Each structure stands twice: as C-alpha cells, then as structure tokens.
C-alpha cells in the first residue's frame, strides 16, 4: 500500500489511456492522489501551485514533448521524478530520455498501464534511494571540504594514511614542521621518517589487528629534511569501513621539541637535586662515622645488605630509594648522644642505656622536619623495636612494627654480631645464623629471618 501523502500528476492527452491508468490506481485501493493534465500547458500551470511526488507523462503531447519538463525541473525548484510513457518506444529514445533525467521509460501497453501503481511505487522508492545517496555524497563532499579547509589552515600537520601507514594526504604545515612539501611525503610510509629507536612502537601499533582505543597519542623523534631529529606528538584516529574493517587513520602532529627539552632539563635538575640530597646524607653518615669509629663501615654494610634484602622481598626501585636512605640514617639520632656515652669503650650503665635508647626519638626529631626524608624515617625511628614487644622506643609487637624496620633489624643485628668490637670479638658466621634462627619469632620477624638466611649463606 502506497503512502497516503503520495501525490501523482498524470499528463496524458488520450482520455482512454488516462482512464485506464486512473482505474488501475483505484482498483488497487491505494490512497494516493492522482491528478490529470491533458497538455504541457495544463501541466505547467498545475505545477505552479502544486508539488507532486511523481510525474507520469506521455512523451508526445498536443503542444510539445513532455521531456521538456525535465529541463524545467532542473532549472527551477525541487527536482520531481518523471516517468516517460510512449506508444512508439525504441532503444534510442529510451537512452536519450534517461540521459535527459527521466527516472524511467515505459512503453505503453494494457499490461504496463494496469501495472502503473506498482511501477510508480517502485519508481518513488528508487528516487528516494537515489536522493539519499546524493545527500550522503553531498555530506561527504562537504565533510571533505571542511577537512581540507581546517587542515590547510592549521599550524599542526594534518595527515591521512592507509592502514600500513602510507601517506595519502598531508597538509601544507608539513613544510614548517619537517621541511618537506606535501608531495614529498604522499605515497611514502610514515615509519620511514621516524627515529629507528622509536619506529618499533609505531610499527607494532600498525600491525595490531585492533587498537585498544580508536584514538592514540604517540611521542617520537621524526627526521627533518635537514637530517636533524625533532620531537613530534601525534594524535591518530582510526576509521573503519561499512563492514567494520580498518580503512584509514587520520593524524594531527605538532612539534614538541621545546617541551621535551624542558622536561629533560627538569629531569636533570631533579636528578641533580636527588644526588645533592644523597650526598648530604652521606656527609652526615661520614660525620657520624668519624665521631664513632667503633662502628666505622657498619653503615655502608647494613645499607647494601638491606637493599639486597628489599629486592628479594619485591620492593620497587622507587621504594628502595627511601629504604636505602633510611638504612644510611638509621643511627642518625646518635648525633645527640654525649661523647662520653657514645665513645665509651666498655659496657654502658643502666642510666647510660636510658640516654642511649633515646637515639631513635632524636632521629625522628632531627629528620621529620625534612620533607624528602619523611618516607625514609621508618628505619631510624623503629629499627630497635622487637617482635615480642621488648624493644624501644614504643615497645611495638609483631606486625605493628613497620616492615622496613623489621627487615632492617635483622640486618643490623647480623652485622653487629659479625663485626669486632673493642669489648668483644665477632661471632663465627655459623653462630650468627644460629642466633638469628633461635630468636626468630621472639626478637625478629620469622619470615624475614627465613628470607635473609640464604642471602648470607650463599653470598
């Protein structure tokens, strides 16, 4: 059933033919409205005030050739689809009429006139499809024009590539960016202009069947026409065809060399600052070693072993930076202990031990105000706590003791027992190991001891 809004103008000078066609529409029960004109003049007058959906016109009319309507349609107003009918059909006439813009060419017969509602319906659908395609093409053309207008006036280099990375279009900004003219790049692979160390990432991306995101951003070094490399940031978007296959990608590229150089300068400054921090810490440690020669070398040994243990326990390198600083500074609080106690050659009295055991809190007071050491303060503050709560300064027990401190406590005691002191000789390695194993679960975290023993027995 044809839509009730369909309005058909029939131009036919033969009353019998007009009646047959009109009856065919009525017999079909269509709700379409059929208007009849008998001459070209009547038809033109009718078209001044009405806009039919379709015109069905006899070719030869008393006052002219109905193909003239095709010229009228193309010269003014909306184009109306036209079907030409004739009793004198031949192939040449059909070709000429179709070329002139007719939608269809029908040879009159009782069958064709009776089937005219179906012919009209098919013609209208064909016309709609044709107009939709035209609109799509117009939209694509406009989109292409807008793309080129934006691309050719952008300071960024705009480019289009096939799925292998071959340039299909490059905006004029490529001359400013890379020194090339657009025609120098078209037809060549983008990978050809990328630094070998950076090209693999792009090659891998192009070879990936499906991107995680249809838009990606890459930083890489591209070769300028003068042979130098500059840093480029490219944002690329992948486009698909109607069956969802990768079709092309479009990219926008800009020079970020200054930004990269600034980032590198900032990183160098950060590294220099880190080195300055670490040199300062090493200076403090040296000052402490010079004051307390009894433990000379102890700090470096326990620091190196603590870092080794931390790596076995799975700490990241970023975390190990703070662990290393904490190990280096573990005895920093002893800077506040009087010389007569710190350098006493024999055992300390009970009162002297009260003062000595304040050095973790002194370390906290000295270091907690220094922002870059806040993540390192755990070891200096808690490394004398013991698994069973018998340690100091807070008598923490078990896993209440921070892991860094539990780890360092094992290393610290291992080195102390393995080193000569004025008031005692070092213990043999076997006895040190037996001591650590014996005190595991009482003074030390048993898991830490279990991990640590292989490190000192295998070297």
Q: Tens digits of per-residue pLDDT, 75-93? A: 444 478 888 888 876 777 7
The yes-or-no verdict on residue 236 having pLDDT over 90 is no
Q: Is-contact 403 409, C-beta < 8 A?
A: no
Please, which pLDDT band fits residue 136 given cuts at 50, 70 and 90?
low
Residue with tokens 């650590």: 436
DSSP-derived secondary structure for 89-135: --HHHHHHHHHHT-SEEEE--HHHHHTHHHHHHHHHHHHHHHHHHHH
pLDDT tens, residue by residue, 292-303? 665 567 888 999
Specify the pLDDT at position 24.
87
- A 10 A CB-CB count for 12 gives 24
Specify the pLDDT at position 364.
93
| 230: alpha, beta or left? (left if phi > 0; alpha if psi -120 to 50) | beta
Distance CA 393, CA 384 (A): 7
Q: Is-contact 249 238, C-beta < 8 A?
A: yes
Determine the Cα angle at 343 with ends 279 and 404, to 5°: 50
- A 10 A CB-CB count for 406 gives 23
Please, which pLDDT band fits residue 320 given cuts at 50, 70 and 90?
very high
Q: Is the pTM of this model over 0.75?
A: no
DSSP-derived secondary structure for 361-408: HHHHHHHTT-GGGTTTTHHHHHTT--TTS--SSS---GGGS-HHHHHH
Mean pLDDT of 304-323: 94
Specify the pLDDT at position 453.
95
Q: Is-contact 274 391, C-beta < 8 A?
A: no
What residues does 309 pair with on adjacent strands? none
Residue with tokens 């921070």: 402
Bridge-based pairing of strands 167-170 and 54-58 is: unpaired
Distances 336 to 149, 185, 291, 350 between C-alpha atoms, Å: 74, 71, 11, 18
- A 10 A CB-CB count for 151 gives 20
* % of the chain exceeding 90 in pLDDT: 37
* % of the chain exceeding 70 in pLDDT: 87
Helix (H) or strand (E) holding 272: helix 257-291
Longest CA span, the chain: 137
Q: Token pair for residue 72?
A: 């009228």
Burial of 99 (C-beta count, 10 Å sphere; 0-12/13-18/19+): exposed
Helix (H, G, I), strand (E, B) or coil at 300: helix
Specify the pLDDT at position 221.
94
């Amino acid at each position: 059933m044809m839509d009730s809004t369909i309005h058909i103008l029939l131009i036919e000078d033969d009353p019998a033919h007009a009646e047959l066609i009109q009856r065919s529409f009525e017999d079909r029960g269509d709700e379409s409205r059929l208007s009849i004109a008998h001459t070209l003049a009547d038809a033109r007058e009718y078209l001044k005030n009405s806009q039919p959906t379709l015109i069905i016109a006899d070719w030869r009319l008393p006052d002219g050739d109905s193909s003239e309507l095709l010229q009228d349609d193309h010269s003014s107003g909306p184009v109306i689809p036209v079907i030409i009918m004739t009793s004198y059909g031949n192939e040449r006439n059909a070709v000429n009429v179709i070329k002139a813009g007719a939608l269809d060419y029908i040879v009159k017969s009782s069958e064709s006139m009776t089937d005219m509602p179906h012919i009209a319906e098919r013609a209208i659908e064909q016309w709609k499809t044709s107009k939709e395609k035209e609109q799509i093409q117009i939209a694509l053309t406009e989109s292409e024009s807008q793309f080129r207008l934006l691309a050719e006036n952008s300071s960024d280099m705009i480019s289009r590539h096939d799925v292998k990375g071959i340039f299909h279009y490059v905006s004029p900004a490529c001359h400013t960016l890379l020194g090339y003219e657009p025609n120098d790049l078209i037809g060549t692979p983008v990978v050809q202009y990328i630094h070998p160390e950076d090209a693999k990432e792009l090659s891998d991306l192009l070879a990936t069947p499906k991107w995680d995101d249809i838009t990606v951003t890459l930083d890489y070094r591209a070769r300028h026409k003068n042979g130098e490399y500059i840093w480029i940031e490219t944002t690329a978007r992948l486009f698909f065809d109607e069956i969802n296959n990768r079709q092309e990608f479009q990219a926008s590229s800009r020079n970020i060399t200054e930004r990269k150089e600034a980032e590198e300068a900032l990183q160098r400054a950060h590294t220099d600052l880190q080195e300055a921090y670490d040199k300062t810490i090493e200076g403090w440690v040296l000052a402490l070693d010079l004051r307390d020669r009894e433990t000379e070398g102890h700090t470096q040994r326990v620091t190196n072993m603590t870092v080794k243990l931390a790596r076995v326990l799975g700490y990241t390198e970023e975390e190990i930076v703070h662990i290393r600083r904490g190990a280096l500074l573990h005895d920093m609080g002893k800077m506040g202990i009087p010389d007569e106690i710190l350098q006493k050659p024999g055992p300390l009295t009970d009162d002297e031990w009260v003062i000595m055991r304040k050095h973790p809190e002194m370390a906290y007071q000295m270091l907690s105000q220094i922002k870059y050491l806040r993540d390192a303060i755990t070891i200096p503050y808690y490394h004398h706590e013991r698994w069973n709560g018998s340690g100091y300064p807070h008598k923490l027990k078990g896993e209440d003791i921070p892991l860094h401190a539990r780890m360092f406590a094992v290393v610290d005691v291992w080195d102390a027992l393995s080193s000569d002191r004025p008031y005692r000789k070092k213990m043999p390695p076997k006895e040190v190991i037996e001591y650590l194993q014996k005190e595991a679960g009482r003074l030390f975290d048993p898991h830490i001891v279990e991990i640590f023993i292989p490190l000192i027995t295998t070297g």
